Amino acid sequence: MVKEQLIEKIQTHKARIGIVGLGYVGLPLVLRFGEERFSVIGFDVDPVKVQKLNAGESYIRHIPADRLQSLLKEKQFEATSDFRRLSEPDCIIICVPTPLTAKKDPDLQYIEKTADAITKTLRKGQLISLESTTYPGTTEEILLERFRTTGLEVGKDYFLVFSPEREDPGNPKFSTRTIPKVVGGITPDCLEAGRALYAKVIDRVVPVSSTRAAELVKLLENIYRCVNIALVNELKVLTDRMNIDIWEVIDAASTKPFGFTSFYPGPGLGGHCIPIDPFYLSWKAKEYDFSTRFILLAGEVNTSIPYYVVERVGKALNDRSKSIRGSKILVLGVAYKKDVDDVRESPALEIMEILQHNGAVLSYSDPYIPRLHKMRAYDFSNMSSLELTEDLLKSQDLVLITTDHTNIDYQRVVDHAPLVVDTRNATRAVTRGREKIVRA
């Protein structure tokens, strides 16, 4: 009876939706549910973020403020830092960060704190969905165990599912609505409720047999990318020694209509998912006396690439009778990928850290990142983006391209910079000054 009442509320758009974590995953969900005329309440621990959202301001570039303002005007959305209000939503979706510790172990404090807050307010008829990427077993071991203390029965009084987020910020081909949604439930009734919720806002819902299977789906997706990127990064190092253009090789191989998928090298791994998620599975595998050798090897290769980039920078300067120490180096692009305003786990930051340690005089320019802030592993909070003028380019000893934003004129960069190290093949269309370009 409880399940039927909840599903009816969802199908008639009377269910109130709660989104915990209003970042790159949570905020698109707010907009998507709002577009389908659901009432949405957003929860976040950051009061500045809450204040901006309630004022109709978007702090994420690819999410336009007018969409937020429309929901606020219709009184369909409000943001709050008061987690005592978690009893209000009928469906709660958890989209909090899952980083790594300094020792590369899973850091689940944000999931744990959210689970504790929900435990205090959990009531009959609620659906809880965890979307944060994590190791198989998290939904059962952290959320379910805490919720048991309430005396409510899962699958009967309340419903618990895992549905991995699949956001790809800045991707014009796919949106929250069009990316298929995988859902796994603790019980069959949990799964039914979860499918009913996501089917109202996502074009295709893909059910799996358990929350553990759903948790592993996201890890597999990102491990697949991690391993293949490590492969081409390792080949990039080899082909540099062999004087072969790895980009030409990949482009030619990609003409094969079957059995090959293109992956491209870069300065390292970036974003919240690919550099982090594989370690979640490697950590969990130890519980089963199993070593995930491919994953660990891929991690080693990808972690080494920023050092390789700095080595190439040093050689390029040395060939011009200069050293890294004292050289003025402009880092062009610090976002983790092109055309986004997101620096999470950006390899550019690791490269900057190594360059700074070696005595480089650093600056950066990125049209999407006006200022850097203090992060868990890095502190470049004293640095702001410089305007990419001809005078700035001429004043540098070297320009290091770490992110290939499409709105940058790379011919202009090469024309005016004395030396360019390109980690993204951003200068492939440049026709003048190619002798100044070094691939890394």
pLDDT in tens, 338-356: 999 999 889 999 999 999 9
Q: Which domains does the chain have, with CATH numbers?
A: 2-209 (3.40.50.720), 225-439 (3.40.50.720)
**CA-wise closest residue to 305 among 269, 278, 274, 257:** 269
Q: Which helix (H) or strand (E) holds 361?
A: strand 361-365
| 161-196 pLDDT, tens digit each | 999 999 887 788 899 999 999 999 999 999 999 999
pLDDT at 23 over 70: yes
Q: Which helix (H) or strand (E) holds 400?
A: strand 398-401
What the block records as the tokens of 48 is 């500045």
Tokens 């982090």, residue located: 276
Q: Are 170 and 178 in contact (CB under 8 A)?
A: no
Instruction: Please state the rounded mean pLDDT for residues 319-333.
Output: 97
Q: Cα separation of 379 and 381, whole Å?
A: 5
Q: Cα separation of 56 and 198, whole Å?
A: 25
Q: Are 267 and 347 in contact (CB under 8 A)?
A: yes
- Listed in sequence order, the residues at least 6 apart from 280 whose beta carbon sits closer than 8 Å to its beta carbon are 98, 106, 133, 134, 135, 219
Per-residue confidence (pLDDT) for residue 272, from 0 to 100? 67
Per-residue confidence (pLDDT) for residue 359, from 0 to 100? 97
Q: Are 335 and 343 in contact (CB under 8 A)?
A: yes
Q: Which helix (H) or strand (E) holds 239?
A: helix 211-242
Q: Cα separation of 17 and 14, whole Å?
A: 9
- Listed in sequence order, the residues at least 6 apart from 107 whose beta carbon sits closer than 8 Å to its beta carbon are 98, 99, 100, 101
- Listed in sequence order, the residues at least 6 apart from 93 whose beta carbon sits closer than 8 Å to its beta carbon are 17, 18, 19, 20, 26, 29, 129, 131
Q: Are 207 and 192 in contact (CB under 8 A)?
A: no
pLDDT band, very low/low/confident/very high, at 278 (cuts 50, 70, 90): confident
Active-site residue flag, 226: no
Task: Pick the more confident residue, 362 or 170.
Answer: 362
CA 139 to chain centroid, in Å, comes to 21
CB count within 10 Å of CB 110 equals 18
The lowest-confidence range among 92-106, 223-237, 407-421 is 92-106
Task: Give the relative orientation of helices 188-199 and 2-11 as an angle to the nearest 10 degrees.
Answer: 10
Q: Cα separation of 227 and 389, whole Å?
A: 38
- How deeply is 119 buried, as exposed, middle or buried, from its count of CB atoms within 10 A (0-12, 13-18, 19+)? middle
Per-residue confidence (pLDDT) for residue 377, from 0 to 100? 78
Q: Are 77 and 40 in contact (CB under 8 A)?
A: yes
CA 154 to chain centroid, in Å, comes to 31
Sign of the dihedral defined by the CA atoms of residues 264, 265, 266, 271, in that order: positive
Looking at the chain, the whole-number percentage of residues with pLDDT higher than 70 is 99
| Type of residue found at 438 | V
| Type of residue found at 37 | R
What the block records as the tokens of 75 is 């009184």
CB count within 10 Å of CB 149 equals 9
Q: Are 375 and 342 in contact (CB under 8 A)?
A: no
Kind of pairing between the strands at 159-162 and 205-208:
unpaired
| 83-128 pLDDT, tens digit each | 999 999 999 999 999 988 878 889 999 999 999 999 999 999 999 9
